[in-house]
Amino acid sequence: MLSIGHRGAAGHEPENTLRGVARAMRLGVDWIEVDVQLVDGELVVFHDDTLERTTNGSGAVAEQSFKALRELDAGEGETIPRLAEVLDLIDARVGLNIELKGPDCGESVTSIVGDYLERQPEWRGKILLSSFDETQTAELAGRERNFELGILFETDAEAALARARAFAAYSIHPSTKQVTAELVAEAHAAGIKVFVYTVNEPREIATMRALGVDGVFSDYPDRVGEYRG
């Protein structure tokens, strides 16, 4: 079962920061997941719509200038990273799941991904794009596919699996509430991997292993390798 560092390694380090990404790599993850939004023309790595929970700023992220965002403390003195900085730091040593948070960042994300793949072919097969936004996912599916596509969802697993088949997706990303043995069997029969979010507790890690899922997103990705239940 693959270990996917959630928001870097959010249980150990400030989420969605370079420090968290570096920690996840030291912990031996297979993939790293980060959230990305387009703000002031820049792709920034950030989860929420507002600044309060994870920074010393306040207000809506979308209303900030990039310069103002970069002046904030995102935890332990970290700045909010650009997506390019995360790609540079990982350097194709592990996979990167870019979760597109805004409805409008598909073009920018696929453009930067295309640049990195051209420059560094080692990235091939190691970039996985996903979004809860179904319109954005369909739009990604229609683009030139030099990346893997993940179907991220919260409800209606059968509909998500149908979309995954229709879009020839690499993976489906159910929550722990949505995943079942039947869903795993159906996905595997269609050649689609199952990556489950967000799995932190040892017992839950054991349950996911027993269900035969292919990977789990975890704030404590080190636990995924350790805990055999």
- Shortest Å, Cβ 121 to Mg ion: 27
Give the span between the Cα atoms of 198 and 94, in whole angstroms. Answer: 19
Contacting residues toward ligand G3P, per CB under 6 A: 6, 33, 35, 47, 99, 130, 152, 173, 197-198, 217
Catalytic (active site) residue 188: no
Give the span between the Cα atoms of 23 and 168, in whole angstroms. Answer: 32
Burial (CB < 10 A; 0-12, 13-18, 19+), residue 132, is: middle
- Shortest Å, Cβ 32 to ligand G3P: 11
* Minimum CB distance to Mg ion smaller for 35 or for 219: 35
* Minimum CB distance to ligand G3P smaller for 2 or for 68: 2
217 binds, among Mg ion, ligand G3P, none (CB under 5 to 8 A by kind): ligand G3P
Catalytic (active site) residue 47: yes
Give the span between the Cα atoms of 98 and 73, in whole angstroms. Answer: 22
Binding part of the chain for Mg ion, among 27-35, 110-118, 136-144, 221-229 by CB under 5 A, reads: 27-35
**6, 12, 173, 188: the active-site residue:** 6
**Contact by Cβ (8 Å): 192, 213:** no
Give the span between the Cα atoms of 190 and 138, in whole angstroms. Answer: 19
- Shortest Å, Cβ 99 to ligand G3P: 4
Q: Does 219 bind Mg ion (CB under 5 A)?
A: no
**12, 47, 173, 188: the active-site residue:** 47
Q: Does 186 bind Mg ion (CB under 5 A)?
A: no
Give the span between the Cα atoms of 127 and 166, in whole angstroms. Answer: 20
Binding part of the chain for Mg ion, among 83-91, 98-106, 171-179, 218-226 by CB under 5 A, reads: 98-106
The residue at minimum Cβ distance from ligand G3P is: 197
DSSP string, 78-145: PPPPBHHHHHHHHTTSSEEEEEE-STT-HHHHHHHHHHHHHH-GGGTT-EEEE-S-HHHHHHHHTS--
**Contact by Cβ (8 Å): 156, 123:** no
Binding part of the chain for Mg ion, among 31-39, 115-123, 165-173, 183-191 by CB under 5 A, reads: 31-39
Give the CA-trace dihedral at 151, 221, 26, 69, to 10 degrees.
60
* Minimum CB distance to ligand G3P smaller for 47 or for 120: 47
For 39, the enclosing helix (H) or strand (E) is strand 31-39
Give me the residues that bind Mg ion (CB under 5 A), please.
35, 99
The set of catalytic residues is 6, 47
